[in-house]
Amino acid sequence: MKKIAILTTCVFAMFAVSSSFAQTVKKTTTVKKTTTVKKTAPAAGGKVSAATLEEGKQLLAKNDCLSCHKVDVKIVGPAYKDVAKKYPNTAVNVEKLTQKVIAGGSGNWGDVPMSAHPSVPPADVKKMVQYILSLK
């Protein structure tokens, strides 16, 4: 009987040691994730013809954008010049913001959400975003 008790204690002790050991291993192997933001990304999104930019400008007026946005003053949404300051004019940012305008949502400028624009053709949204990011 005494043997069993000792054995049980032993097993418990081993379990305790191994689990704390496992925790230590887990802690020491945690890899710190670092994201490198490329500040000098190529302005691939900026290579757009003047005609496309003009089209983008007109599309902003044709859609509901200007009821919440102005070029240099914040209304409901951020001023387009502030958007252009925040995001360098790259292909990646053009794509990201195009998706955001289509899906709508909040979080990047505050808690007020932008309405979704699922019925605006993505190619049109892209032109509008290219125009916005060309504003400096």
> Contact between 83 and ligand HEC (CB under 6 A)?
yes
Of 16, 22, 106, 116, the one binding ligand HEC (CB under 6 A) is: 106
* Residue number with CB closer to ligand HEC (70 or 100): 100
* Residue in 48, 88, 120, 127 binding ligand HEC, rule: CB under 6 A: 120
**Residue 107: CA count within 13 A, CB half-sphere:** 6
CB of 104 to ligand HEC, least distance (A): 8
Instruction: Spell out the residues 6+ positions from residue 135 whose beta carbon is closer than 8 angstroms to its own.
Output: 71, 80, 81, 83, 84
Which range binds ligand HEC by CB under 6 A, 14-22, 29-37, 40-48, 69-77?
A: 69-77
Q: Which of residues 84-103 bind ligand HEC (CB under 6 A)?
A: 97, 100-101
Length of the chain in terms of residues written: 136
Encoded tokens for 32: 């710190």
> Under the criterion CB under 6 A, does residue 63 sit at the interface with ligand HEC?
yes
